[in-house]
Structure 1
């Protein structure tokens, strides 16, 4: 069974078809890329998959479960987490507390317990601290656990955002232009991180990216969008050598 199975997804804004009849199938454990020119509809698809937008048509199945039109919190709890092109950390919170935000899906206490600081509150907080530190250690961020998130270098902020997404225990991780703003050394480190996440967490990954070195280096399959329509789909090397893709996307 596919981890993600999307059929005939469509949405319009003000009469303009932003995504038209989009379909994609991603198998469990795949590293899959979604590419295309600016304005092609890639982020709109991420917003449809995560419940920010409700589709006008089509369906979305996650691990066999129909999540079409569900609310964002329901979709996150079902197993989809994402990062953003513009990093969205809680900059004034500590590195540890940023990860703990993601843990609240699975570690909960009552409002009363939190206000009165009852034993159940301290028990859950201890569990979250321990789990957050485990995740930070995976990304070599445990020594900076008490830093403000804003004080981390850019590349480590990207890692922290991925760690926070993983704290929600997703089945499918969506990465929205993870290499944006990175230098070549940071991008090379990011490639290692994404591969490690897939292997260590048994994760399925779908990413949007403009950095072709990263895309060709880690993605096993690609789908190319152009003006909301699918232009090509298949193994990465075949798609990147497709003349239509080169003309529409690479501009050669």
Structure 2
């Protein structure tokens, strides 16, 4: 599904990511972990075209995506959430998800201006598609609520729902459990497994909650100062002395 070879980016004299390699098989739940400032979100920005790599290649299902724009990369099948929530806070829960359906359901400029020529049918189709996704996250009963009025944990879930609406083959989740209480995190773990299976999507996530990481990820890579420190199964990685030192210090 995803192959990164010798991936790197340099800002002036700083190598934020250096010689990073990653192989993720289709359908896998993969975790990218590391201390704060290790370069994890920078990797996500490289994968989604926000940053252009200084070195190395990125391939999605064999197709080179280096140099593509974020929109082109999204159309090729990569969607993401953000460490800092970026919902349309003054739009409803339903409309946030519908905003991501623009590639699935289209109508002409004339139709959008006049609300005729099939406008109602297209809007109904989008409503149904968005509601089906919201049901997965138990948010369908809040479809008319302004997204900015949702509790923090539900805003996190809505951002995942919106990313999922673009029909990605690879879904990148940046700290999806941040700010959640233990019960919410447990529910999120079940939801992530569910969307992987229901939507046949491969998932790469950044997370600091090691219970979540150990509970759902099949493989992990650890970044430290922009370079890969270790990779393997959660048990192998989380018991690696170098990884423990990177997180806790000497």
Shorter-chain-normalised TM-score: which range? over 0.9
Partners of 1:89 and 1:199 in 2: CA distance: 25
Q: How does 1:1-252 map to 2 (within 5 A)?
A: 3-251=1-249
Note closer, same or farther for the CA distance 1:122–1:50 as it changes in structure 2 (3 Å cut). same
Structure 1 segments of 4 or more deviating over 4 A? none
CA deviation string 1:160-196 (max 9, x = no partner): 1111111000000000001111111111111111111
SS in 1 for 2:192: helix
Deviation of 1:10 after TM superposition, in Å, equals 0.8
SS in 2 for 1:101: helix
CA deviation string 1:81-104 (max 9, x = no partner): 011111111111011000001111
Deviation of 1:251 after TM superposition, in Å, equals 3.5
Deviation of 1:143 after TM superposition, in Å, equals 1.1
Q: Give me the TM-score of the superposition, normalised by structure 2.
A: 0.97
- What is the RMSD of the two structures over their aligned residues, measured on CA atoms? 1.2
Deviation of 1:113 after TM superposition, in Å, equals 2.1
Segments of 5+ residues of structure 2 without an aligned counterpart are: none
Question: How many corresponding residue pairs?
Answer: 250
Partners of 2:242 and 2:134 in 1: CA distance: 42
Deviation of 1:50 after TM superposition, in Å, equals 0.5
